[in-house]
A and B are shown apart, each in its own frame.
Chain A
Amino acid sequence: MKRFDPLLPIIGVVGLIVIWSFAVWGQVVDPVLLPSPTKTFWALWKGMNGGALGFDFLKTVQRTAISILIAAAIALPLGIVLGSSERLYRSVEFVIDFFRSTPASAMFPLFLVLFGVGDKTKISVAAFGAMLVILFNVAYGVMNARKTRLLAAKVMGASRLRVLTDVMLLESLPQTFIGLRNGVSLALVIIVVAEMFIGSTDGLGHRVFEAQQLFEMPDMYAAIFAAGALGYGFNLLFLLVERRFVHWSGK
Chain B
Amino acid sequence: MLETPAGPPGGTPAPERAHVTIRGLSKRFNNVVIYDKFDFDIPRGTLISVFGPNGCGKSTLINMIAGLIPVDEGEILFDGKKLSEIKFGYVFQNYREALFPWLRAIDNIEYPLKVMQVPNVERRARSEKLIANLGVKIDLKRYPYEMSGGQQQLVSIMRALIVEPEILFLDEPFSALDYEMTLFMREQLQRVFQETGTTTVLVSHDLEEAVYLADRVLLLSRHPALVADYVRYDDARPRTDATLSEPEFIRVKAHCLDVFQREVRKG
Contacts and interface: CB of A to CB of B under 8 A. Distances in A.
Interface of A: 146-149, 151-158, 162, 166-167, 170, 246-248, 251
B195 interface: no
Contact of B143 (A148, A155, A248): A248
Given A155-B66, A155-B88, A248-B145, 6 more contacts: A146-B97, A147-B97, A156-B111, A156-B115, A157-B115, A166-B100
A151 B94 CA distance: 12
29 contacts: A146-B97, A147-B97, A148-B92, A148-B94, A148-B98, A149-B98, A151-B92, A151-B98, A152-B92, A152-B98, A152-B100, A155-B68, A155-B90, A156-B111, A156-B112, A156-B163, A157-B112, A157-B115, A162-B115, A166-B100, A167-B100, A170-B100, A170-B102, A246-B102, A247-B102, A247-B143, A248-B101, A248-B145, A251-B145
B61 to A, nearest CB: 15
B110 to A, nearest CB: 11
B114 to A, nearest CB: 8
A58 to B, nearest CB: 36
A167 B98 CA distance: 11
B102 A248 contact: yes
Interface residues of B, number: 21
A246 B143 CA distance: 12
B121 interface: no
A153 B66 CA distance: 13
Interface in B198-243: none
A151 B100 CA distance: 12
Nearest to B95: A148
Interface string B96-109: 01111110000000
B70 interface: no
B100 A149 contact: yes
B116 interface: yes
B7 interface: no
Interface of B: 66-68, 88, 90, 92, 94, 97-102, 111-112, 115-116, 143, 145, 159, 163
Output the residue of B66, B90, B111, B115 with the most chain A CB within 10 A: B115
| Interface SS majority for chain B | loop
Contacts of A247: 102, 143
Contacts of A167: 100
A147 B163 CA distance: 23
A246 to B, nearest CB: 8
B89 to A, nearest CB: 8
Nearest to A155: B90
Nearest to A162: B115
Contacts of A155: 66-68, 88, 90
Contacts of B99: 152
Nearest to A146: B97
Contacts of A166: 100
A3 B163 CA distance: 50
Contact of B97 (A148, A154, A156): A148
Contact of B115 (A147, A149, A151, A158): A158
Contacts of B163: 156
A221 to B, nearest CB: 44
B97 A149 contact: yes
A167 B102 CA distance: 9
Nearest to A149: B97
Contacts of A152: 90, 92, 98-100
A157 B143 contact: no
A249 B101 CA distance: 9
B202 to A, nearest CB: 16
Contacts of A251: 101, 145
B97 A157 contact: no
A172 to B, nearest CB: 12
A62 B112 CA distance: 45
Nearest to B101: A248
B65 to A, nearest CB: 11
A148 B163 CA distance: 20
Contacts of B112: 156-157
Contact of B68 (A151, A157, A162): A151
A149 B111 CA distance: 13
Contacts of A154: 68
Contacts of A151: 68, 92, 98
A147 B97 CA distance: 8
A200 B143 CA distance: 50
Contacts of B97: 146-149
A225 B19 CA distance: 73
Contacts of B111: 156
